[in-house]
Amino acid sequence: EAAVTQSPRNKVTVTGGNVTLSCRQTNSHNYMYWYRQDTGHGLRLIHYSYGAGNLQIGDVPDGYKATRTTQEDFFLLLELASPSQTSLYFCASKGLGVSYEQYFGPGTRLTVL
Amino acid sequence: GDQVEQSPSALSLHEGTGSALRCNFTTTMRAVQWFRKNSRGSLINLFYLASGTKENGRLKSAFDSKERYSTLHIRDAQLEDSGTYFCAAEDYNQGKLIFGQGTKLSIKP
């Protein structure tokens, strides 16, 4: 089964702070995704990538940047964090091809005070 | 409106009983995934279906792309089945997952 890890697992920052969330997958998957999940809602797609150096805008991208430095690593950047970005963030990966399941990391809980 | 409507939003079952969750889609989807979010917040993959049905232990899922729905059946519910269940439909355009709002399942002794 695909292995997706995230760090940190928990993060507290203040409004205006700079935060980087990290995701690594070790299964040579081409696709990687960043989602946020809020209570009472399903996951919503922030950014995704087809491969190293590639970045695609998701459905809720405002306030977020992302960078895919290698096949394995995908980062989510909050340069001016706001309380509305307090959420549970999930990273996922998917293999080459269009119809394959996504595998999710354990999540990062971010609190912006 | 939402492309994926999941119901019910909450469900309470006694141990040993069963029920079904359902997701309706406003458009034709390529595939569906079902997840369970456990007490630690991790998303556990339950099923991936591009068509038909799959069964795994006490869980069974079906996906009908033409009729635009998917179901997840739970039988003989156990306490460890508690959690929030999500369906997510894969769109044809870019293969993105569109999530339902989740069903909070509580299993009582």
Nearest chain A Cα distance for residue B60, angstroms: 17
Helix (H) or strand (E) holding B39: none
Number of domains in chain A: 1
Residue A10 within any structural domain of the chain: no
Q: What is the pLDDT of residue A70?
A: 96
Longest dimension (CA), chain A: 41
Task: Check the CA dihedral B35-B37-B43-B46 and report its sign.
Answer: negative
Tell me whether strands A87-94 and A103-104 are parallel, antiparallel or unpaired: antiparallel
Q: For A30-42, what is the mean pLDDT? A: 91
What SS3 class is residue A86? coil
Q: What is the pLDDT of residue A95?
A: 86
Q: Which residue has the tokens 């355009």?
A: B93
Residue A5 within any structural domain of the chain: no
Tokens of B106: 């509580």
Q: Domain range holding A36?
A: 15-98
- A-B contacts at Cβ under 8 angstroms: 55
* Nearest-Cα residue of chain B relative to residue A2: B45
CATH of the domain at A36: 2.60.40.10
Question: Taking Cα atoms as reference points, which of A80, A83, A88 lies closest to residue A109?
Answer: A88
Tokens of A63: 């306030």
Q: Domain range holding B78?
A: 4-108
**CA-to-CA distance for B83 and B35, rounded, in angstroms?**
10
**Could you read off the pLDDT of B78-109 as tens digits, one per residue?**
999 999 999 999 988 777 899 999 999 999 99
Residue A111 within any structural domain of the chain: no
Nearest chain A Cα distance for residue B75, angstroms: 24
**Could you read off the pLDDT of B19-61 as tens digits, one per residue?**
999 999 999 999 999 999 988 888 999 999 999 999 999 999 9
Chain A residues with beta carbon closer than 8 angstroms to that of B6: 42
Q: Which of A33, A56, A107 sits opposite B41 (nearest CB)?
A: A107
Number of domains in chain B: 1
